[in-house]
């Protein structure tokens, strides 16, 4: 791989203090504590800081004032002024932008500062102050200009599925120490439901349905110091999946809530809380149960990243009566041409984006395994209706668009989450096993959420040759590196997610050649 002028060089230091009280990470700036030494009980920055939605001239900065994070925040109803500053150095000696935001009770005293007017392809440091208290510092960056050819290499991580009760966030501690340019989160940032088995820590309260309950659930997750460290280290791009609202929901239907009107009220509360806790621009602020969050993010001429929404607009589940996505099924309805995974408007947007002159790489960031996966054991066919197999015609349209994209010189990777397993797959147009290769898919496991059985994974590999690698007994995330010649994807696995200071290492490593899609395993 080429040298990396895009990232400032810094040595990786040994991790110290890896529990929930503190998380040291690779850069000496990012010694992030849930509260600084000597903090008073009313310290407001208990949920840390974050940045996201990077552009060539700026980014979004986020924090939320919450001295009592698990009890509504503890800020009362009054608005609070929050000062922010951005520096070109970690010591904050060279301030390049500063301003004042107002945190209001309407948005849970969160702030979303949209910084503009900065030079491209630069690293910056930022922090907030409110009521005499200062936040931890975070680090973020602007992207290269859209037509910048100078970028030699780009490195990012993608992750999903971080059930708080299933394990600790050692994967995020490891991620924060990597030399990344940004992070993509593919959904299931929180879980609305609990599991009584294999818990190492517990949700507060029951299944949230009201805004205050969703706010407290997010606060529980975001109070984790290892997650805070990863947010403070890099800008994030974020989308959602189902557990931010309700398991296996589709558009306005939920298996748990029969009345669509009642469910849309829950969805409105959930979307509002998601916005309040994510480093996203005001354009993504929900209007009731609706929010526009999909979009394109360009990183010079190296990468177009297409971030999608796979829940809000999709057709309801096929084959099964009621609103359930289980058990495995097969029927003519799942093949119906009118069925859509992204919805008509988002499908049209995606087709337009794939038709423009491509960057060196295109990454389609979407929630769940795209490759066809016959999951039923034995000779019969059985598919999971909450995945792409329940939307076969929509998948065919997407693969057609990826084929056209390839014909124009595009190189597409699909970054996926949701299924609590690591997968690497060849994506083919037409016949899933024999058709022409058009893209390569990687599913980045789960940060903590428990996966399917080894026998289930082995069955899927045996019945679906397009699935080139699969493993579900380990938790973690994926790390991707792109340059002009090719891409590498590394699966980073936690040794034991039930242990807060667990080691994390490389479980598998793959390469994809520029101009030649397909999975190639490398020695890890």
Task: Say which CATH number the domain at 408 has.
Answer: 3.60.21.70
Q: Is residue 246 part of a domain?
A: yes
Domain residues for the domain of 351 are 22-33+143-522
Q: Is residue 12 part of a domain?
A: no
- Looking at the structure of the chain, the number of domains it has is 2
Q: Is residue 239 part of a domain?
A: yes
Same domain, 41 and 26: no
Q: Choose one of 112, 127, 142: the last residue of a domain.
A: 142
What is residue 501's predicted lDDT score, i.e. its pLDDT?
Answer: 96
d(CA 333, CA 351): 24
Mean pLDDT of 341-345: 98
Q: Are 140 and 124 in contact (CB under 8 A)?
A: yes
Tokens linked to 514: 């520029």
pLDDT at position 10 over 90: no
Comparison of pLDDT for 6 and 177, the residue scoring more: 177
What is residue 31's predicted lDDT score, i.e. its pLDDT?
Answer: 53
Q: Choose one of 109, 124, 142: the last residue of a domain.
A: 142
Number of neighbours of residue 32 by Cβ within 10 angstroms: 24
Give the mean pLDDT of the chain. 92
Tokens linked to 217: 């659930």
Mean pLDDT of 406-426: 97
Per residue in 93-113, pLDDT (tens digit) is 999 999 999 999 999 999 999
- How long a stretch of residues is the chain? 524
Same domain, 219 and 348: yes
Same domain, 248 and 283: yes
Mean pLDDT of 415-440: 97
Q: Are 447 and 160 in contact (CB under 8 A)?
A: yes
Helix, coil or strand: residue 523: coil
- Rounded to whole angstroms, what are the CA distances from 418 to 123, 292, 354, 493? 31, 21, 24, 16
d(CA 354, CA 356): 6
Distance of CA 479 to the CA centre of its chain: 12
pLDDT grade, residue 523 (50/70/90)? confident
Per residue in 244-291, pLDDT (tens digit) is 999 999 999 999 999 999 999 999 999 999 999 999 999 999 999 999
What is residue 509's predicted lDDT score, i.e. its pLDDT?
Answer: 98
Same domain, 39 and 169: no
What is residue 524's predicted lDDT score, i.e. its pLDDT?
Answer: 61
286, HSE (Cβ side, Cα atoms, 13 Å): 22
Helix, coil or strand: residue 403: helix
Helices (H), 277-385: 344-355
Q: Is residue 304 part of a domain?
A: yes
Same domain, 184 and 229: yes
Tokens linked to 179: 């030399």
Comparison of pLDDT for 124 and 7, the residue scoring more: 124
What is residue 324's predicted lDDT score, i.e. its pLDDT?
Answer: 78
Q: Is residue 17 part of a domain?
A: no
Same domain, 253 and 320: yes
- Three-state SS annotation for 64-110: ECCCECCCCECCCCCCEEEEEEEECCCCCCCEEEEEEEEECHHHCCE
For Cα atoms 319, 325, 331, give the angle at the middle one, nearest 5 degrees.
Answer: 20
d(CA 239, CA 254): 19
What is residue 437's predicted lDDT score, i.e. its pLDDT?
Answer: 98
Cα Rg of the chain (Å, integer) = 22
Per residue in 189-220, pLDDT (tens digit) is 999 999 777 899 999 899 999 999 999 999 99
Same domain, 122 and 215: no
Q: Is residue 7 part of a domain?
A: no
Same domain, 168 and 75: no
430, HSE (Cβ side, Cα atoms, 13 Å): 5
In this structure, what CATH number is given to the domain that contains residue 107? 2.60.40.380
What is residue 40's predicted lDDT score, i.e. its pLDDT?
Answer: 76
Per residue in 227-252, pLDDT (tens digit) is 999 999 999 999 999 999 999 999 99
Percent residues over pLDDT 70 in the chain = 92
- Rounded to whole angstroms, what are the CA distances from 516 to 151, 152, 372, 510? 21, 20, 20, 14
Q: Is residue 39 part of a domain?
A: yes
Does this model's pTM top 0.85?
yes
Helix, coil or strand: residue 393: helix
Q: Is residue 186 part of a domain?
A: yes
Q: Choose one of 142, 160, 180: the last residue of a domain.
A: 142
């Amino acid at each position: 791989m080429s040298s990396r002028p895009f990232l400032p060089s810094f040595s990786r230091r040994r991790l110290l203090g890896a529990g929930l009280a503190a998380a040291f990470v690779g850069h000496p700036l990012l010694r992030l504590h849930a509260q600084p030494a000597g903090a008073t009980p009313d310290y407001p920055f208990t949920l840390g800081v974050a940045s996201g939605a990077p552009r060539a001239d700026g980014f979004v900065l986020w924090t939320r004032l919450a001295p009592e994070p698990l009890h509504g925040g503890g800020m009362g109803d009054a608005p609070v002024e929050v000062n922010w500053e951005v520096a070109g150095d970690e010591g904050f000696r060279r301030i390049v932008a500063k301003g004042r935001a107002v945190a209001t009770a309407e948005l849970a005293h969160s702030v979303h500062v949209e910084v503009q007017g900065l030079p491209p392809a630069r690293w910056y440091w930022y922090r907030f102050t409110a009521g005499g208290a200062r936040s931890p510092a975070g680090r973020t960056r602007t992207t290269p200009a859209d037509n910048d050819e100078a970028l030699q290499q780009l490195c990012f991580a993608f992750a999903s599925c971080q059930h708080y009760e299933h394990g600790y966030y050692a994967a995020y501690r490891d991620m924060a120490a990597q030399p990344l340019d940004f992070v993509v989160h593919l959904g299931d940032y929180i879980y609305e439901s609990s599991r009584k088995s294999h818990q190492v820590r517990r949700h507060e309260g029951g299944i949230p349905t009201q805004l205050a309950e969703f706010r407290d659930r997010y606060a529980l997750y975001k109070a984790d110091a290892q997650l805070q460290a990863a947010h403070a280290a890099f800008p994030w791009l974020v989308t959602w999946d189902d557990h931010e609202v309700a398991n296996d929901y589709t558009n306005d239907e939920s298996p748990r809530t029969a009345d669509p009107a009642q469910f849309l009220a829950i969805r409105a509360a959930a979307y509002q809380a998601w916005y309040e806790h994510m480093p996203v621009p005001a354009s993504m602020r929900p209007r009731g149960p609706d929010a526009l969050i999909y979009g394109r993010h360009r990183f010079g001429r190296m990468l177009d990243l297409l971030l999608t929404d796979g829940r809000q607009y999709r057709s309801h589940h096929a084959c099964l009566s009621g609103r359930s996505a289980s058990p495995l099924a097969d029927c003519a309805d799942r093949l119906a041409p009118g069925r859509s995974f992204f919805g008509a408007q988002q499908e049209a947007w995606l087709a337009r984006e794939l038709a423009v002159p491509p960057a060196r790489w295109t990454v389609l960031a979407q929630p769940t395994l795209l490759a066809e996966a016959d999951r039923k054991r034995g000779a019969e066919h059985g598919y999971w209706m909450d995945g792409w197999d329940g939307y076969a015609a929509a998948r065919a349209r997407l693969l057609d668009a990826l084929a056209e994209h390839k014909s124009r010189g595009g190189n597409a990777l699909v970054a996926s989450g949701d299924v609590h397993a690591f997968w690497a797959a060849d994506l083919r147009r037409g016949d899933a096993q024999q058709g022409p290769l058009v893209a390569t898919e990687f599913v980045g496991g789960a940060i903590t959420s428990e996966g399917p059985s080894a026998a289930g994974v082995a069955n899927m590999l045996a019945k679906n040759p397009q699935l080139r690698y699969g493993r579900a007994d380990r938790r973690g995330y994926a790390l991707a590196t792109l340059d002009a010649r090719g891409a590498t994807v590394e699966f980073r696995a936690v040794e034991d997610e039930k242990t807060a200071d667990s080691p994390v290492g490389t479980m598998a490593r793959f390469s994809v050649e520029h101009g030649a899609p397909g999975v190639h395993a490398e020695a890890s």
